Chains A and B, each alone.
Chain A
Amino acid sequence: MSDLKNFDGLVSIREIEGQGMLVVRGDFSAPAFREAVCALAGVDFPEQRQAVVRDGRGLLWMSPDELMVMLPRAEASRARADLAAKLADQHALVGDVSDARVHFQIEGRVVRETIAKLAPVDMHPDVFAPGTLRRTRFGQVATAVWLLDERTARVFCFRSVRDYMAKLLAVAADEKSEVAYFQK
C-alpha cells in the first residue's frame, strides 16, 4: 500500500475514510424518482454534470440516467434497501458501491494544476467551475473529480486501482514539479 500519511507536496492528499456511495439509475424526468433521491440525499436534484454535496452527503450527476448518492458509509447498506423499495415500481436500479470506490481529497494552492497534469480536461478557472463534476481518466484509470472550491478537489476511482491513483497524485503533486500554469 502506498502511504500518503506523511506526503508533503504542492497539495495535500488525504484518503477519505467512511465515505458511502450508492449508484442509482432511473428516469430523471419522473417526479417520484427525483423526490426519492433528493429526500435521501437532503439536497436539490443536480443539473447536468453538477455535484451537489454538503458534508459528505449529496448527489452527483454521472450521466443522463445515472446518479451517485453520497452518504456516510455506515448508512449505505440500509439506505440502499430503503431506496430500492421506494423505487420498486419504477424502471430503476440502486446499488451500494461504497466498497468498490475509494475517495481522495486534494487541497492546496495548485489543485487545478495537479488535476490538469493527469487528465485530458481543461482546468482553466473560466471553464471549470467549482461544483462541476467531471468523469474522465487520471493517467490510465477511470476517475471522477469535482472542485469543492478553488483550493479543494474530491477525486474517486475504483478501489482496485487505489495504489496506482495514490502514486499518480503524489507524483503530480511533487514539490519540485510546479509549472504554475494557471498563475500566469
Chain B
Amino acid sequence: MLIFTCPYCGVAAEETELAAGGEAHLTRFGPGSSDDDFESYLFTRENPKGVHFERWRHVYGCGKWFHAARCTVSNEVFGTYSAQTTEPTAEIRETISKKRPGWSWRDMNGEG
C-alpha cells in the first residue's frame, strides 16, 4: 500500500484517500510554441523503472495538490514536498541519492 504524508495537512494518507495527477515538473507549452514542444508537453511522459516524481492530490482530505518522489519498483516513498516549486527540493534529492546512488530522471541526477 502506498502512503504519502500530505505536506499541507500533515496526514499520512493512504492511496485511496488520494488522486494521482501524473508526472511532475512538466513545462507547459501553449499557444505560440513549436509543434514539437507542444506535442511533447501533451504526450511525452517518463515511464521509469525506479525513481519517479509525481503530482498527487489529497482529494478526500484537505484537497491540496502536492509533489511526491517514490520508487516505481518497490513503492518506497522518498518524500513529499510543496506544489509551489518547479523542481524537487535539495532535501528530497539528497534522500534519493542516499537510497539510490547514481539515480537519474529526465535531465536530473544525484550529482545535482
Q: Which of A49-72 contact B (CB under 8 A)?
A: 49, 62-64, 66
Complex contact A64–B9 (CB within 8 A): yes
Complex contact A63–B64 (CB within 8 A): yes
Residues of B within 8 A of A120 (CB): 13-14, 16-17
Q: How far is the CB of B73 from chain A (nearest CB, A)?
A: 24
Q: How far is the CB of B9 from chain A (nearest CB, A)?
A: 6
Task: Say yes or no: A134-B17 contact (C-beta < 8 A), given A62-B62, A142-B60.
Answer: no
Interface check B26, CB cutoff 8 A:
no
Type the 1/0 row for B67-107, where 1 means its CB is closer than 8 Å to any CB of A: 00000000000000000000000000000000000000000
Size class of the contact patch on chain A = 10 to 19
Complex contact A49–B63 (CB within 8 A): no
Complex contact B8–A64 (CB within 8 A): yes
Type the 1/0 row for B53-64, where 1 means its CB is closer than 8 Å to any CB of A: 000000011111
Find A63's partner among B9, B13, B14, B17 (CB 8 Å cutoff).
B9
Find A136's partner among B10, B17, B63, B64 (CB 8 Å cutoff).
B17
Interface check B11, CB cutoff 8 A:
yes
Q: Which of A24-48 contact B (CB under 8 A)?
A: 48
Residues of A within 8 A of B12 (CB): 122
Complex contact B14–A49 (CB within 8 A): no
Q: Which of B4-48 contact A (CB under 8 A)?
A: 8-14, 16-17
* Chain A residue with the shortest CB-CB distance to B10: A48
Residues of B within 8 A of A122 (CB): 12
Residues of B within 8 A of A135 (CB): 9, 11, 60-62
Residues of A within 8 A of B60 (CB): 135-137, 142
User: With A and B bound together, what is the CA distance between A2 and B102 in angstroms?
Assistant: 59
Closest 6 CB pairs of A and B: A63-B62, A137-B60, A135-B61, A120-B14, A64-B8, A142-B60
